[in-house]
Amino acid sequence: MFTFTAFRAIDEPELCKKFVEGHANVLKEYGVTKVTSSNNDWVNNPYVFVVTVQEDTTGQVVSGLRIHISHEDYQLPLEGAIAQVDSKISDLVAEYRKIGTGEIGGLWNSRAISGYGIGALFLSRTSLVIADQLNVPTLFALCAEYTLKPTLQKGFEIEEKIGNKGTFFYPKLDLVATLAVLKDVKNLPLALKEEQNYIFDLRQNLETTRDEETPKGIVRIKYKLKIKNSDWRN
């Protein structure tokens, strides 16, 4: 069984440490040793919220993601990353910040559980459950080629004002990244109906256990998605 746990980063330093270690190991496996968005200062950022996936028999964190709320005192990770190829990114984020925005980032998945869809499918859905709790109306996502399709299926669209109609090389010259934006977190009007239904149901059932069908068979997931300190405005 896997347990998905949502929390404010500054409230759970030990879980954050496990997240950082797991993410670093995955990046090394893929030959990526220096990524702007992997800077670990976020563990002390009051505007960061996290979801970890723990494998219950070992207690290890095997997958995770973060949501960074945009604040003028705390740059979004994607701003630092994209500024290397397009200086317009900070102005774009500032425009969205007027109504409220953030970034889904740092999504990683241990190779030990690859093939189940834990990260790309189930965990990515929880990000939009968390964002609803945080009352963030819009969200950005910096997508690798393999995460773009599932991201768009959740209602994001490509932000064509940046790079070459939303695409650019990052973090290496042979890797293509795409900037996507979700303009209506609450209603998800562009999402596939299946994704809408799943996310809306989880929003109503933040503490629940489900037997999920995956490409490798049925997996039991315990969702603990109620954030204790979700009011980042205070």
* pLDDT tens for each residue of 126-171: 999 999 999 999 999 998 888 899 899 999 999 988 888 888 777 6
| Spatial separation of the C-alpha atoms in residues 142 and 81, rounded to whole Å | 9
Predicted TM-score (pTM) of the model is: 0.91
**What would the two tokens of residue 196 be?**
């809408």
pLDDT score, position 169: 77
Domains parsed from the chain with CATH numbers: 2-224 (3.40.630.30)
Q: What is the pLDDT of residue 85?
A: 82
pLDDT at 173: 65
Instruction: Mark the ranges of the chain whose per-residue pLDDT is less than 50.
Output: 36-37
**What pLDDT score was predicted for residue 171?**
67
